[in-house]
Structure 1
Amino acid sequence: MSQFQSPGRSAVYAQNGMAATSHPLGARVAVEMLEAGGNAVDAALAGAVLLGICEPQMTGLGGDLFAIVKPAGSEDLVGLNASGRAPAGLDAAALRARGLSAMPDATGDSVVVPGAVAGIAHLAERHGRKGLDAVLAPAIRYAEQGVPVAPRVALDWAEAAERLQGAGRRHFLAGERALPVGAVFRAPGQAEVLRRIAAEGPRGFYEGEVAEDMIAALRAAGGSHTAADFAACRADEVTPVSAPYRGAEVVELPPNSHGATALLMLRMLERFGVETHPFGAERAHLEMEIAKLGYAARNQMISDPATMTMSVEEFIAEATAADLAGRISRERAGPMPVDPLGSPHRDTIYITVVDRDGMAVSLIYSIFANFGSGIASERFGILFNNRAAGFALAEGHPNEAGGGKRPLHTIIPGMIREGGRVTVPFGVMGGPYQAAGHVRFVSNLVDYGMDLQAAIDAPRVFFEGDALKLEAGYGADVAAALEAKGHGIIRPQAGIGGAQAIRIDHARGVLIGASDPRKDGIALGC
C-alpha cells in the first residue's frame, strides 16, 4: 500500500470495465470501445492495433500475437496462437552452407509471415461483438492524424533507429533521425492497409496489393517468401497450460510460446522457502539461478509443437522441476545459459481488458527486436518482425529452422486463477525476460502479499551476457552481495520490460488495474 509520500501511482478502481496497457491512447480507445457496447475482445483489439502506431518500434501489422480469453460466464479459457510460420523456402542447411551458425536477425530470412492480422480477425469474428471495421477504426484515425511520440517510445526509437534499413528509414525516421519526444508520427500507408482489412477481412492483408508490396520487400532483402506463404497464414485456437503455485494456478500458452518456461520455474521456486527480504540478494540470486536452468531447458526443448521431443506436460512436471532445482547452489552463481536469441534489446506491447460481463483478455503483440528486422514494405510501410531469429541452426535441434515451422517465441500472455476462477489477467514485457518476469510478478503477489501496483513497481533483475542487470531499486549492498556470489553486475539505462494487470475482485464486484511506470501506459476504468 502506498504511503503517498514518494513518487508513484495508485492502482485504478472501477466497476464496469478496465483496460491497462503500455500507452495512454491504447487504454483510452479500449475503454471507449467498452462504453460503446463492445466486449473485452473488441476493446483489447482496438487498443492493441492502435499501439502499432503509438509504439511502432515495438509492434505492428508485420508482427505476431498471442492471447488468452476468458469468455463471459465461463472459466474455460481459450488460447490463441497467431504467431507466423517461416516461408516454405526457409532452409537451415542452406543457411549453414553460407557459413552461418545462428539465424540472421535483420534480413529477409529473419522474417516469418506476419501472424497478427490473422489473429486479430479471428478474435474479432469468433469472440468479439462489434466487428473488425469497428475495432480497427481508432487505429485508422490515429494513423492518419498522427500520434505524438511519448517519452519511453522516444528512448527506444533513438536506441534502435540504426536497425532501420531501406524503406524502413523513410517510413519511420524524419530526415534520417529518430523522432524525439512530442514529434508527431503518421502512418498513412498503414491507415490504407487497415481500411482494406476492415473492408475485406484478412484477405485484404494476405492477398492482393498489400501482400505483393510485402513480398517484394522481403524478397529484395533476401527472403524466400511467396504469395502462397502469405495466403496460407492462419491463427490457431489452443488449449492453455497451467501449474499450481502455493494455492494459486498460473495459466500460460503452450509451445511454441515459452510460457511453459515460467511454469517450470515456478515449480522450481516452490521447492524453496520464501526469502525474508523481497528485494534482497538471496531472492535475486535464487530466482536468477532458477531462470538460468529454466531457460537452458527452454533452449533445448521449446519449439514448434510438431517437432518437440518432450511433451509440455513432461517439461513442467514435478520431476523435471525437482531435478533442476537440485542443481542450484544458494551460495555460488552457476553458468549462464547460451541464449540462442542473442542479446539485442527486445520488447513488446501488452494489453489486458475486463468488461462488465466478466470477459477477460490477456493479449500480447510484437515484432520482436526493436523495429523488428528493420525492413519495411515500400508502398505501405509495413514493418516486419524478425521472429525467425528465434530458430536454431543446429542440425537436428527441435527448434531447427525450417519451412512452415513456428519458432520459439518469447511473448507470453498470462492469467492467474484462484479457487477455480480467473482473478488476474496479466502480462510482463521485455523479450526474453518475460518468463522470469511472470515468476517475479506471481511471487510478489503470492509470496509477499503485494498489491497489484506494488508487484509491478517492484525492482527487477535479469541476466544479460555473463552478468546480471540490476535495476536502480536494488542498493549497492545487494549488488555487492551478488558479486560475492559470483555474479557480474550491470546497471541498465532503462527499466527491465514493463507490465500490466487487472485484479478481478469477485467478492466486491470491483476491478483493480495497474500499469508499469517503466512504460508510458496507464490503467483506465469505466
Structure 2
Amino acid sequence: MSPFDSSFAFPPFGAASRRSPVYARNAMAAASHPAAVEAGLGMLDRGGTAADAAVAMAAVLAVVEPCSTGLGGDAFVLYHDAASRRVTGLNGSGRSPQALDFDTLASRTGGALPPRHALAVTVPGACAAWCDLLERHGVLPLAEVLAPALEYAAEGFVVGPVTAHLWAEGADALRAAGGEELLPGGEAPRPGQPVTSPGMARVLDILSGAGGTEAARRAFYAGEIAADIVTAVRERGGVLDASDLAAHRSQWAAPITTMYRGLRVSECAPNGQGITALMALDVLSALDAPTFGDGFGPARVHAQVEALRLAFADSRRYVADPDHEDVPVRGLLDADYAAQRARQVLPGRRNPDIVHGTPPASSDTVYFCVMDAFGNACSMVNSCYMTFGTGIVPRNTGFALQNRGHNFSLDPASPNRLGPGRRTYHTIIPGMLHDRRGTLLGPFGVMGGFMQPQGHVQILSALADDGCDPQAALDRTRFCITDGTPGGELAVEEGMPEAIRVALADMGHPVRMVGGYDRALFGRGQIILRDPHTGWLTAGSDPRADGCAFGY
C-alpha cells in the first residue's frame, strides 16, 4: 500500500511518547488538533488577544473534532487579564428545559434518563460563551475570528487518527439519533480522509454575517438555528423549548483556588467539578504526599487515588447549581477539613469505607489554551460531553447536541437533582497557575469527563513534586477512577511501571490495565508555562491526541 494512500493504517498508541517541550519568546497556543493551533496563532499575528485566539481555536475544533466538541455543547473559561492581573471565570454551561421535571421523566421514560435520550439535552452554552469572551477580552471582529473555522468547514480538513477513532466510536449513537449528517457517505471518516462540514459552514456563515457578538448571540438562540435545535429535540422526545434557548445567559464568576507546593491553582467555581481537584490537592498537602515512598512510585500513586476518591465523594454529594443550592465551597476547601479527610487515607491499603464528609459551614471534550504577547492567558474547555453527546444533530447544522442532563441525580434529595432551569454537575474544568506572589505561570488542563480533576492532580504533581517540564508531565502514564465515584474501578495506563500496578492491586485497588486507542480514557491535556526568571514560554501537548503546541 502506498504511504500516499489516505486509507493507510495508522499504528495504535504506543506505551511511551518521545516529544520535546516547545519553547517560544512571545506567544504560544496548544490544542488537540494542529489546525486549531494555527488558527489561534493567526489571530495573535493579527494583533488579537488570547481571547480572540481561544475562540478561533474553539470554532476550528468544533469543525474538525465534532465528536468531542461543538456549538451543541458547553464551554468554561479561565482568563488571566494582564492589565488588571486578575483571573476571571466564565461559566458557559446551559440549563435544563423549564418543562423537565420528575413527572415528565416518568411519563416519557418510566423514570430513567438514558444517556443519549433527548431529555438529556440541556441548552448549549458554547456560542454565548464565545461571544461573551470576545466582548470582554477580545479586540478582533467576530467574523475575522470565525474565518478559519468557516474555511475548514466549507473547503475541507483532514481527519486525524485519534479523532477518527473517536468518530467511529460514536457512529452508532449518531445513527440511533438520526445524526447521519455527521457520517459522510454513511460512515465515520478514516484517518487521513478529507472531510467538509456544510452544516457548520452554514451556521458559521450565519454567525459571521450577523454583525457582531450580540447579533450572533440572537441569531443562535432566537433565530433559525434555535428553531432547528428545538425541532430536532422535540422530534426525538425531548421538551426543550424556544424560550429555554432565548433565556440563556453565561455567568462570569471569580475562580476558586488553593495552594499546592508553592503553586496557586485556580479552577472554575461550581457547578463545575474543578473543586474536586482542589480538594484532592488539599488532602495531598495535608499528607505531605511526596514523602510517601520514592517519588513517582506506588505510595504516591496510592495517596493520589485515595485523595481523589475522597474528593469525588464530596463533590458528588455537594456540587450543584449555585443558583439553586448552597454549595459549601469555603467549607470544602477549609484546611482543617482537608486534614480531617486526609486521616482516611490509609498507608498501604485501600480504604473500603470512603463516603462524603460534612464540611464546616461557611465530562469527551477538547481542552486548549493560549498565551499572547500582551501577557494574557486563556484556559478553555468546550465539550458536547459523551462522544457526539446525544447523537442528535439539528438539520443542516453540523453539530451534535450535548447530553449534559445525564449528570443530574434522580434522587429528589440530592442538591444536583433533576429539575427545570437547572445546571447540572459539570465535568469540564480549565485550570490556571500562578506563583505565590500572584505572577502568572500559565494555563493547563486535561480533558475527558471525570478524568479531568484526576488529570489535573497528576500533571500538577509531575510539575510541582518532580520538576517535570510541561511535555514530560503530559507524557507520564496515568490512572483513572473510571466512573467518578469513590468505589470506581481503577484503570491504569499501559506503560505504567509494573511494580506500581502490582503494588496498587496488593493494596486492594481494583486495577485494570488500558492500552491502545482506549488510552483516550486518560484524557488529552495541554500546558503552557512562562518561566518567571527568563520570561520564555514552555509548552507541551498530549501524546494521546492529534494536536501540538507551537508559538513564536
- TM-score, normalised relative to structure 2: 0.90
Contact 1:52 1:61 in 2 (8 A): yes
User: What's the counterpart of residue 330 of structure 1?
Assistant: 347
Contact 1:347 1:431 in 2 (8 A): yes
User: What's the counterpart of residue 290 of structure 1?
Assistant: 307
Output the amino acid matched with 1:405: R
Whether 2:530 is the aligned partner of 1:504: answer yes
Contact 1:279 1:459 in 2 (8 A): no
User: What's the counterpart of residue 506 of structure 2?
Assistant: 484
Whether 2:426 is the aligned partner of 1:426: answer no
The verdict on how the C-alpha distance between 1:96 and 1:338 changes in structure 2, with shifts beyond 3 A counting, is farther
Contact 2:63 2:70 in 1 (8 A): yes
Alpha-carbon distance in structure 2 between the residues aligned to 1:100 and 1:243: 43
User: What's the counterpart of residue 83 of structure 1?
Assistant: 93
Alpha-carbon distance in structure 2 between the residues aligned to 1:285 and 1:97: 45
Whether 2:371 is the aligned partner of 1:367: answer no
Alpha-carbon distance in structure 2 between the residues aligned to 1:33 and 1:411: 25
Whether 2:540 is the aligned partner of 1:518: answer no
Output the amino acid matched with 1:35: D
How far does residue 382 in structure 1 lie from its aligned partner after superposition?
Answer: 2.9
1:173-192 paired onto structure 2 within 5 Å = 173-192=183-202
Alpha-carbon distance in structure 2 between the residues aligned to 1:334 and 1:101: 34
Query: Deviation per CA, 1:135-163, whole angstroms, max 9, x where unpaired?
Result: 11111110111111101111111222211
Instruction: Return 461-470 or 223-232, whichever deviates more.
Output: 461-470
Contact 2:123 2:244 in 1 (8 A): yes
Whether 2:23 is the aligned partner of 1:13: answer yes
The verdict on how the C-alpha distance between 1:516 and 1:439 changes in structure 2, with shifts beyond 3 A counting, is same
Output the amino acid matched with 1:236: Q
Alpha-carbon distance in structure 2 between the residues aligned to 1:453 and 1:46: 24
Point out where structure 2 has 5 or more consecutive residues left out of the alignment: 1-15, 211-215, 357-362
How far does residue 99 in structure 1 lie from its aligned partner after superposition?
Answer: 6.7
Contact 2:17 2:543 in 1 (8 A): no
User: What's the counterpart of residue 424 of structure 2?
Assistant: 407
The verdict on how the C-alpha distance between 1:158 and 1:337 changes in structure 2, with shifts beyond 3 A counting, is farther
Output the amino acid matched with 2:455: G
How far does residue 396 in structure 1 lie from its aligned partner after superposition?
Answer: 2.2
Contact 2:266 2:433 in 1 (8 A): yes
Give the percent of matched residue pairs that are identical in Structure 1 and Structure 2.
40
The verdict on how the C-alpha distance between 1:295 and 1:81 changes in structure 2, with shifts beyond 3 A counting, is same
Alpha-carbon distance in structure 1 between the residues aligned to 2:201 and 2:230: 19
User: What's the counterpart of residue 307 of structure 1?
Assistant: 324
The verdict on how the C-alpha distance between 1:147 and 1:369 changes in structure 2, with shifts beyond 3 A counting, is same
User: What's the counterpart of residue 239 of structure 1?
Assistant: 254
1:251-270 paired onto structure 2 within 5 Å = 251-270=266-285
Whether 2:479 is the aligned partner of 1:469: answer no
Contact 1:103 1:390 in 2 (8 A): no
User: What's the counterpart of residue 122 of structure 1?
Assistant: 132
How far does residue 13 in structure 1 lie from its aligned partner after superposition?
Answer: 1.0
Contact 2:80 2:377 in 1 (8 A): yes
The verdict on how the C-alpha distance between 1:20 and 1:434 changes in structure 2, with shifts beyond 3 A counting, is same
How far does residue 166 in structure 1 lie from its aligned partner after superposition?
Answer: 5.6
User: What's the counterpart of residue 372 of structure 2?
Assistant: 355
Q: 1:205 aligns with which of 220, 235, 248?
A: 220
User: What's the counterpart of residue 154 of structure 2?
Assistant: 144
Q: Across the two proteins, how many residue pairs are aligned to each other?
A: 515
How far does residue 199 in structure 1 lie from its aligned partner after superposition?
Answer: 2.3
Alpha-carbon distance in structure 2 between the residues aligned to 1:193 and 1:167: 20
The verdict on how the C-alpha distance between 1:338 and 1:320 changes in structure 2, with shifts beyond 3 A counting, is closer
The verdict on how the C-alpha distance between 1:316 and 1:34 changes in structure 2, with shifts beyond 3 A counting, is same
Contact 2:232 2:394 in 1 (8 A): yes
Alpha-carbon distance in structure 2 between the residues aligned to 1:239 and 1:253: 8
Alpha-carbon distance in structure 1 between the residues aligned to 2:347 and 2:293: 14
Alpha-carbon distance in structure 1 between the residues aligned to 2:355 and 2:492: 20
Contact 2:367 2:380 in 1 (8 A): yes
Alpha-carbon distance in structure 2 between the residues aligned to 1:347 and 1:487: 25
Q: 1:131 aligns with which of 141, 145, 158?
A: 141
- TM-score, normalised relative to structure 1: 0.94
Output the amino acid matched with 1:227: A
The verdict on how the C-alpha distance between 1:338 and 1:155 changes in structure 2, with shifts beyond 3 A counting, is farther
Query: Deviation per CA, 1:221-265, whole angstroms, max 9, x where unpaired?
Result: 111111111111111111111011122111011000111111111
Output the amino acid matched with 1:153: T
Alpha-carbon distance in structure 1 between the residues aligned to 2:177 and 2:188: 14
Alpha-carbon distance in structure 2 between the residues aligned to 1:170 and 1:141: 22
Contact 1:413 1:427 in 2 (8 A): yes
Alpha-carbon distance in structure 1 between the residues aligned to 2:498 and 2:266: 36
Whether 2:54 is the aligned partner of 1:44: answer yes
SS of the residue 2:371 aligns to: strand
Output the amino acid matched with 2:499: D
User: What's the counterpart of residue 4 of structure 2?
Assistant: none
Output the amino acid matched with 2:462: N
The verdict on how the C-alpha distance between 1:267 and 1:147 changes in structure 2, with shifts beyond 3 A counting, is same
How far does residue 167 in structure 1 lie from its aligned partner after superposition?
Answer: 6.5
SS of the residue 2:543 aligns to: coil
Alpha-carbon distance in structure 1 between the residues aligned to 2:230 and 2:354: 36
Whether 2:457 is the aligned partner of 1:439: answer yes
Output the amino acid matched with 1:514: G
User: What's the counterpart of residue 343 of structure 1?
Assistant: none
Contact 1:197 1:203 in 2 (8 A): no
How far does residue 16 in structure 1 lie from its aligned partner after superposition?
Answer: 2.0
Alpha-carbon distance in structure 2 between the residues aligned to 1:502 and 1:16: 12
